[in-house]
Amino acid sequence: MIDRAAIVTAARRWIDTPYVDQHSRVCVGADCLGLILGVGRDVGTLTAYRPPAYTPNPDGKMLRREADAALVPVYQRVQPGMVGLFWYAHRRWPQHLAIFTDYRGLGMIHALSGHAVREHSINSFWSLRFVRAYDFPGVADG
């Protein structure tokens, strides 16, 4: 079983990784999905998952469908180590993923175009765009 604290620790190793569309290599480059896939690999889950081809502005329906298929939807209070799905830039469907952390209460680590992977507290911009939370497969609840 994987513990959520180990997920946060693994995600923090990715901080300062440059944003590179459709990449998933720590210190080399990652986009938001690549960060989730890379952290999943780092903690021993999502090792066989391969996303379908996508563009720099992915189809939000595809992103939600793939998150629902590869991750485990949770219906409880968000906790550090969970994955968050967000909508972004006035689009109807969600187009962004992040890993929740304990940074200043509740924070997030994510890769956003134009920025290296970073961690910050959840502000109103992101809290208003939150759609759904997920666990990585094999996470120990608790």
In the chain, what are the domain boundaries?
Answer: 4-135
- Just give the CATH number of 4-135: 3.90.1720.10
Amino acid (1-letter code) at residue 27: C
Residue 71 region by backbone torsions, left for phi larger than 0, else alpha for psi between -120 and 50, else beta: beta
Which residues sit opposite 85 in a β-bridge?
97, 132
- For the stretch 101-106, contacts whose Cβ atoms lie closer than 8 Å and that sit 24 or more positions apart, written own/partner, are 101/8, 101/11, 101/12, 102/8, 106/78, 106/80
Of 44-48, 68-72, 76-80, 97-101, the range with the lowest mean pLDDT is 44-48
Percent of the chain with pLDDT over 90: 68
Q: For the segment 14-59, what is each residue's pLDDT rounded down to a tens digit?
A: 999 999 998 999 999 999 999 999 999 999 998 877 877 776 666 6
Q: How many helices (H) and strands (E) does the chain have?
A: 4, 8
| Predicted structure pTM score | 0.92
| Residue 98 backbone phi and psi in degrees, to 5 | -150, 165
